[in-house]
Chain A
């Protein structure tokens, strides 16, 4: 009963909304075995104790009878445009892509609209946090990990600088610009690729010189806002999230990361091939795109996209899922489930939408599993959250109950009642 003194300290707040006990639930901690007929105590928004039916709590603690429900950690989507884009085809509603090639100072989190209709919709399927990722140019800006609850973006922010998004240059003959779709010759595309790569190296070189200059400089040093934003990257405090799909690009990205001495996370990995061994060796995690996609090539096996997570898991590489958009973020658990149908162990699928993203984004000290001391970011369901039929009944973020109503449930009720 180590937590008793802690209790006394918070006794005054015992009636607060973020202190309660759940009774009669099955707890799925993700980090350990499931606990049936459990009691889960939350104090001040944090998980205080997981016990059996006999778990004693102060009389003032509010009891939530959730008999028969399952408790899982809330899920985390590792790549979205949440709050940054409302209707994807309407330019005015999108704040995802900025102009310019190098914009490390941009922060996605401040462009997340807390009133976006997408937030409650995504939340309703059990997702408690999402990476808002800027896109555009080469260094697109800082991706922010946002909890899907809060009156302002500030309240939503878990880490504004969870990652620096680098759109690693590729040899691409097709491009889409303001005047529409265009094609370049291969040699042109190759020159373009090399030029962009050179610019990228030079930019990091500039950042390192800035780092040195700043360390050596005294009063009167003129800060540069863009290069200033590079310092946490150079200090390995912020990982660089690099989009790299195929073997060649992945190897290039890993070599580049080594050369620049930065920490990297790969995103949109799809055809890693022999690069998987390298990722394992260097301990580099990956963010997988949706499994519910067509095969990359016409002559690929029909289940090519479904089995990518299976391969990545077998190679021992840590992975999480991202939905790379908004519309299907609520289907995040089903992306993982599709991989289960084709061979991914169920517990790995569950971790890839809870614990692993928390680890990858450096917040596993406070979320990603149900463990003592972690934030009570939890969902109560009537079954396995990876199953399409399962309902998320209740959600708590930092121990506060979150409304699961959305534009969709409101319209449902309104029109179901139409005479």
Chain B
């Protein structure tokens, strides 16, 4: 895969201003109109029917095309080298930040599907999972280069079938004939217990540190409490410094989490998947949680059997802040048409549909001051489509992140030919060198 990298020209750091002209601009928050978007120093400088063209600006003629804000996927596992630390029921000490893989081809594929910001989550093997990391799909950049600088940290929680799977005898067979290894919890009751216990521990720990800091401030000589990395992350949750993104399906478990969170004064930032959210939309709205769901997945497991494609629309109508996510490196490349489906399933308007993959997930990540709409001052993360992005027939032509072009379909088409050529050359070279290798190499030539 390495050779993909050098062919994909890295975006320039000191990019010249760019003016996207003659496009239908879908701002999401300020309506749609025919006009231009001016991009300078990584930000959107001006948006309007008539704009000032900065000197030296590169002009992109987008006649007949559509510009929308970069798509935000609030739930993904791309660019992560591992997903689940499932040996314990609370794994808040681990984080995706430590296993990011900036060379994951999933980043480029997402980019080519118009996605510019991704919330990369830990898996759902445990009630309280690991920490999440928000990234931008700056393909070609290194680990530091893909981080969404200044994004609020997050953490994954999980309810229902997945976190209780390892407590279930038939599901936790190892396949090697060894006896099953059981892990608490095995029921939704146990899941609640694990979360409440963890919050309780975090509260005690928080108080210990508070006491220590107060006494220290008074000039007393005190021994600091033992640092607990697991509880550190949960204290941040208690203090509202770390956002909770909770995987859930059934209405009962959703309500349970909201009530446990209420008990500890915690706000659940988003409910993830939340396929039965439509049944408790009122309670979700009252708590103030966002909901990030699928458009039409259902019936792949028991807890998804009451999932309906109208889920997003019902929750929108009941006043919940809703986004659509992918949870899949494949689906994330076409979140635009996933959003389009909500116009059919529940009759959302174009703007409501587009909001589900732009401004709403931006709010769910506390990043709506930076991304999610085409407004002056926001990051210049833009996607240009050849047709209306809510159409089945639309495809991405260009993607800009921070005002630099990271994807161009035309360039991709040219480069793939060069890549094919280069691959052929390498294979040819390999073939020519093989006869010698065969003579010299022993039987263990193929790595195990």
Contacts and interface: CB of A to CB of B under 8 A. Distances in A.
Contacts of B109: 294-295, 302
A409 B308 CA distance: 8
B419 A299 contact: yes
A386 B282 contact: no
B337 A388 contact: yes
Interface residues of A, number: 46
Contact of A327 (B105, B297, B391): B297
A408 B419 contact: no
Interface string A322-339: 000011101101100110
A88 interface: yes
Contact-residue size bin, chain B (C-beta under 8 Å from the other chain): 35 or more
Contact of A341 (B108, B299, B306, B395): B395
B423 A415 contact: no
Considering residues A298, A333, A387, which has the most beta carbons from chain B within 10 angstroms of its beta carbon? A387
Contacts of A217: none
A240 to B, nearest CB: 30
Interface string A355-381: 000000000000000000000000000
A221 interface: no
A298 B279 CA distance: 40
B299 A118 contact: yes
B330 A292 contact: yes
B392 A387 contact: yes
Question: Which secondary structure dominates chain A's binding surface?
Answer: loop
Given A180-B175, A294-B330, A415-B278, A388 B299 contact: no
Nearest to B353: A389
Interface string B326-340: 000111011001001
A416 B278 CA distance: 8
B394 interface: yes
B446 to A, nearest CB: 9
A181 interface: yes
Given A292-B330, A299-B1, A299-B423, A179 B175 contact: yes
A415 B334 contact: no
A341 B308 contact: no
A3 interface: no
Contacts of B390: 388-389
B317 interface: yes
Contacts of A295: 109
Contacts, number: 122
Contacts of A118: 299
Contacts of A303: 112
A188 B175 CA distance: 21
A2 B293 CA distance: 56
Interface string B291-333: 0000011111110111011100010010000000000011101
A301 interface: yes
Interface string A285-302: 000000011110011011
Interface in B375-414: 387, 390-395, 412
A87 B305 contact: yes
A118 B278 CA distance: 20
A89 B301 contact: yes
A418 interface: yes
B35 interface: no
Contacts of B317: 416
Contacts of B296: 328, 330-331
B392 A334 contact: yes
16 contacts: A86-B299, A88-B301, A89-B302, A117-B299, A292-B334, A303-B112, A326-B299, A327-B299, A333-B392, A386-B392, A388-B340, A389-B340, A389-B344, A408-B308, A412-B345, A418-B282
Given A87-B302, A181-B175, A331-B296, 16 more contacts: A87-B299, A88-B300, A179-B175, A294-B109, A294-B329, A294-B330, A295-B109, A299-B4, A327-B297, A327-B299, A338-B392, A388-B341, A389-B340, A389-B391, A408-B308, A416-B317
Interface of A: 86-90, 117-118, 121, 179-181, 292-295, 298-299, 301-303, 326-328, 330-331, 333-334, 337-338, 340-342, 386-391, 407-409, 411-412, 415-416, 418
Interface of B: 1, 4, 105, 108-109, 112, 173-177, 278-279, 281-282, 296-302, 304-306, 308-310, 314, 317, 329-331, 333-334, 337, 340-341, 343-346, 387, 390-395, 412, 416, 419, 423
